[in-house]
Amino acid sequence: MYRKITLFIVLLASLSSVQAQINQKKSVTILKGTIIDFNTKEPLSRAHILNLNSVEGTTTNSAGRFEVPAVANDTLLISFLGYQSVKLKITNDILKGNELEIAIHQKRMEIDEVTVKAHNLIGVLVVDAKNVPEEKYKRIHIEGLPQTYEIGKPKAKEYAGVGAAIFNPVDFWYNKFGKKPRELRKLKKIKEEDRLRDLMDVNFSREVLMSYMDMSKKELDELLAGCNYSNNFVKTASDLQIIEAVMDCYENYRALQKGKVSKEKISIKDSIH
């Protein structure tokens, strides 16, 4: 009799779990809306909409319209080149209402300081090509290794004190990443799905990674510098490249910390010529 009661309770719990999953799937709504310019009210084509919770994204069509799956308490990140990004918290009222119209503001243009350097050019292509210095850092891939490396000696870091010198941003973020396995899975999903890769490959705001990892842009720059990425890469890379760089840095660091660099990745036989 006791076994029958236990079996019944287990079966009831399983059915409740299945029913909860079914109800959760039913609650997913295809949210429809339009992205427009705040001042002109013109629709914005190719604006990006990413559901930060489900990691599902899309872009607006020529009429500024979009459709994206969402449930209550999801957060949408709306971004468009040259405009202020918007985070929209999805409520039950939004899901039950009519189509959304989201107006976003243009960003104020900020021009970075430009330094002009003379290279003593004389107008002769063969000579001038030798006088113009090559890019200080170049990222290369070595056959047989999963990592990529930048050629060139990184600039030595200047520390304000002993405490700052002890701090290692890679150690710090590696430990923090370990507490965010769900967020790391979301970044991995972005790397693996073509549509999401396309979205991130034309973005340069870093907002997705900063949202998932709960870090500021300054902290992100420190992390990438600690992973031996140059300032040039940090400034010019797309969001997809930045996500891949952070994930690669994390995986490489984890392998070194745990001593699990597999022999297949470093083939002695193949490296001898």
In a domain, 121, yes or no: no
What is the mean pLDDT of each successive set of 10 residues along the chain, which is 273 residues long?
Answer: 52 51 65 95 96 94 96 94 92 89 85 52 58 53 52 47 52 74 89 90 90 88 85 89 88 73 42 39
Same-domain check for residues 86 and 165: no
Average pLDDT, the chain: 75
Rounded to whole angstroms, the Cα distance separating 80 from 207 reads: 12
Q: Which residues form the domain of 171?
A: 135-258
**Domain contains 5:** no
Residue 63 lies in a domain: yes
Q: How many domains is the chain built from?
A: 2
Which CATH number characterizes residue 57's domain?
2.60.40.1120
Angle value at C-alpha 40, between 70 and 69, nearest 5 degrees: 10
pLDDT in tens, 50-91: 999 999 999 999 999 999 999 999 999 999 989 999 999 999
Q: Per-residue DSSP letters for 220-264?
A: HHHHHHHTT--HHHHHH--HHHHHHHHHHHHHHHHHHHHT---GG
Q: Count of alpha carbons within 13 Å of 171, Cβ hemisphere only? A: 4
Q: What is the predicted pLDDT for the residue at 147?
A: 52
pLDDT tens per residue, range 242-261: 999 888 888 877 777 776 54
Which domain-ending residue is among 50, 85, 104? 104
Distance CA 185, CA 247 (A): 10
CA distance 70 to 57: 11
Domain membership of residue 244 (yes or no) is yes
